[in-house]
């Protein structure tokens, strides 16, 4: 039976909802790694929970900024998939699987090319398996944009988008104020380190748009996207990147059943990420919760052993017959 989300008294604060899951130990099931060679000479890594049988659903998990199969939300979903005998695979963005990618370019919030290549090879290898997808945060924006771009030709049959920054400019500004700056600082440090590695690589240095001495100056997402993300990935400017990569304008073109979940108190976002009815295609089920933080949605348990709403809701939507 599907339960509705209601946070316990001790987890009503958005930062508790956002931070506690990161600090809570989650066992990761055994995974099998597959390297997918891309058409531009680069690669991404896939982590498989199991190999799908004929006609078995495949749940593709798309992590957030600087996430991986080690992320708490990915581990929890993998564990639930294992318990329910559902086949799942983690789609890593470039450089997020523990090994730096080969090219100067990396990944970004609107990068749907790698996802399409992965889905195409999955469709070719497992033609009878329905492809389902869930995207978290940045991965959710990528998924929403993909579904809108490909519309009725999308290779994904059903999808769930969680805590996605559907208006990138507004979210970048939000992370420059208040306690949200803590999240920005944490993520920016990781992006700076990956940029340093590429600038120090003699084979990539000339293609990188910044010098080693300039990297410490990139303290906000706006600065980083202006100096690195936009020029590295072919955008005219940071504003051009934010406008073209944001998922919001693609929601109206989605043709496949899609659940979009947001929390109104998400410290990564503002009300600008909340779409109107007119912005959503008829195939979208939109759920806005008053609380839940960013990819949190703790709905019970104890502070030492929280219980979560997301995994149940995601699988209930992707595979309704499992109810």
Q: Which active-site residues does the annotation give?
A: 137, 266, 294
Q: What angle do CA 234, 98, 115 make, to 5 degrees?
A: 45
Residue 226 DSSP label = I
Residue 163 Ramachandran class (φ > 0 left, ψ -120 to 50 alpha, else beta): left
Write down how long the chain is. 323
- What is the helix, strand, coil percentage profile of the chain, to 5? 40, 15, 40
Residue with tokens 């329910």: 84
d(CA 138, CA 91): 13
Cα 179 to Cα 153, 176, 219: the distances in Å are: 41, 9, 15
Separation CA 98–CA 75 (nearest Å): 16
Alpha-carbon torsion angle 147, 150, 152, 156, nearest 10: -50
Biggest alpha carbon–alpha carbon distance for the chain: 57
Strand-pair category, 32-37 with 43-48: antiparallel
DSSP characters over 118-166: HHHHHHHH-TTSPEEEEEETHHHHHHHHHHHHHGGG-S-SEEEEES--S
Question: For residues 245-271, b (16+ Cβ closer than 10 Å) or e, as one string?
Answer: bbbbbbbebbebbbbbbbbebbbbbee
CA 191/CA 210 separation, integer angstroms: 13
């Amino acid at each position: 039976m599907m339960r509705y989300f209601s946070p316990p008294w001790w987890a009503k604060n958005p930062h508790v909802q956002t931070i506690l899951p990161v600090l809570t130990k989650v066992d990761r099931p055994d995974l099998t790694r597959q390297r997918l060679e891309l058409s531009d000479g680069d690669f991404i890594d896939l982590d498989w929970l199991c190999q799908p049988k004929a006609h078995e659903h495949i749940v593709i998990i798309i992590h957030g900024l600087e996430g991986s199969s080690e992320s708490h939300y990915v581990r929890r979903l993998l564990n639930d998939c294992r318990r329910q005998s559902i086949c799942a695979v983690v789609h890593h963005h470039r450089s997020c699987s523990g090994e730096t990618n080969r090219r100067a370019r990396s990944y970004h919030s609107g990068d749907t090319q790698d996802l399409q290549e992965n889905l195409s090879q999955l469709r070719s290898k497992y033609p009878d398996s329905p492809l389902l997808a869930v995207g978290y945060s940045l991965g959710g924006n990528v998924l929403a944009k993909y579904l809108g771009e490909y519309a009725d030709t999308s290779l994904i049959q059903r999808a769930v988008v969680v805590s996605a920054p559907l208006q990138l400019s507004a979210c970048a500004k939000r992370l420059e104020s208040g306690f949200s700056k803590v999240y920005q600082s944490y993520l920016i440090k990781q992006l700076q380190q990956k940029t340093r590695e590429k600038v120090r690589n003699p084979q990539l240095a000339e293609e990188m748009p910044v010098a080693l001495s300039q990297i410490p100056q990139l303290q906000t997402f706006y600065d980083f996207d202006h100096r690195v993300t936009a020029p590295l990935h072919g955008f005219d400017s940071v504003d051009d990147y934010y406008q073209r990569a944001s998922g919001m304008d693609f929601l109206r073109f989605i043709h496949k059943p899609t659940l979009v979940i947001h929390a109104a108190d998400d410290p990564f976002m503002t009300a600008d990420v909340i779409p109107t009815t007119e912005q959503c295609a008829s195939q979208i089920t939109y759920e806005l919760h008053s609380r839940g933080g960013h990819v949190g949605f703790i709905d019970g348990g104890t502070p030492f052993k929280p219980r979560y709403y997301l995994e149940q809701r995601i699988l209930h939507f992707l595979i309704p017959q499992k109810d």
